[in-house]
Amino acid sequence: MMPMKKTTFPGTILILGLFFIIFLSNQSDSFGLEEDLIITSSQVNLSCFNAKDGSIDLDISGGNGNYTFTWTGPNSFNSSEEDIENLEAGTYVVSVSDDAGNHGSESITIIQPNELLIESFTSSNVSCFGGNDGSISAETISGGTPPYQYSINGTDFFTNSTFEDLSAGNYTLTVQDANNCSISTNIEITQPDQLTMAPATTENVSCFGGNDGSISAGTISGGTAPYQYSINGTDFFTTSTFENISTGNYTLTVRDANNCAISTNI
């Protein structure tokens, strides 16, 4: 009988088959497989710049048993609640785990609108002492959440950004956006000093029926220079003296650059 020849096969022998790995608990008769948790989040962003009214709500699915939450966020924020509120702008990270060791994490960013700013406004002062032709107009508004509304001194808000028929005084212009965020600025409406005239000087007619009389306006103050002068409401002139006047009653009127006027009877 011939001896059996030994044959060697190089390489690796693979054993094919299907294996099941079952984790048994010594605490109970049940068992489970580890799985990631599914985290669904909804958020409310800040209504105004630098507000702290953001919030995040979570909805967790999957896993096994009670959930544990660990939140971190800006300025050393931390919480163990499922849902968090009164948040400032920034990125918040939550880690969720359950009793079976399943886990998941999520990163959520709370955003805020740009700062609401009154970049420019125009104002028009009262033209005459005691008048009410001043105005304020908001010109350029930025940030916040349009559309904007406007108010003077905390009264009603309007979509029109111009306020007219204002008397002299201090005013607060307030701009409010769609989220009721607001910004204010103080504006002064001024008026010229009261237009006054010192007593006029006169020269009477020297002879009966003559016309060599004259009237000269006294010193003018207040109002807005330069001034013009008129006798009996006729044409206005830059000269303050009227000559070749006959006997009679006259009204001397002084008018300033804004058409404010003062009169005296002579």
Q: Domains in the chain, ordered, with CATH?
A: 37-110 (2.60.40.10), 117-189 (2.60.40), 196-265 (2.60.40)
CA atoms within 13 A on the CB side of 195: 23
pLDDT digits (tens, 9 = 90+) for 189-205: 999 999 999 999 999 99
Mean pLDDT is lowest, of 22-31, 167-176, 202-211, 253-262, for 22-31
Write the CA distances from 111 to 53, 88, 148, integer angstroms. 11, 8, 20
Q: Which helix (H) or strand (E) holds 216?
A: strand 213-216
Residue in the block written with tokens 């580890």: 34
Q: Which residues contact 9 (CB under 8 A, 6 or more apart)?
A: none
pLDDT of residue 9: 37
> What tokens does 105 get?
């994490």
Q: How many helices (H) and strands (E) does the chain have?
A: 0, 21
Within 10 A of 164 (CB to CB), how many other CB atoms are there? 12
Residue in the block written with tokens 């006294």: 218
What CA–CA distance (Å, rounded) separates 36 from 101? 9
Query: What mean pLDDT value characterizes the chain?
Result: 88
What CA–CA distance (Å, rounded) separates 93 from 83? 12
pTM of the model: 0.73
pLDDT digits (tens, 9 = 90+) for 63-98: 887 999 999 999 999 999 999 999 999 999 999 999
- Residues listed for the chain: 266
Please report the beta strands in 132-194, taking only residues with DSSP state E, as ranges in sequence order.
Answer: 134-142, 149-152, 162-166, 169-176, 182-189
Q: Using 50, 70 and 90 to split pLDDT, how confident is the model at 56?
A: very high
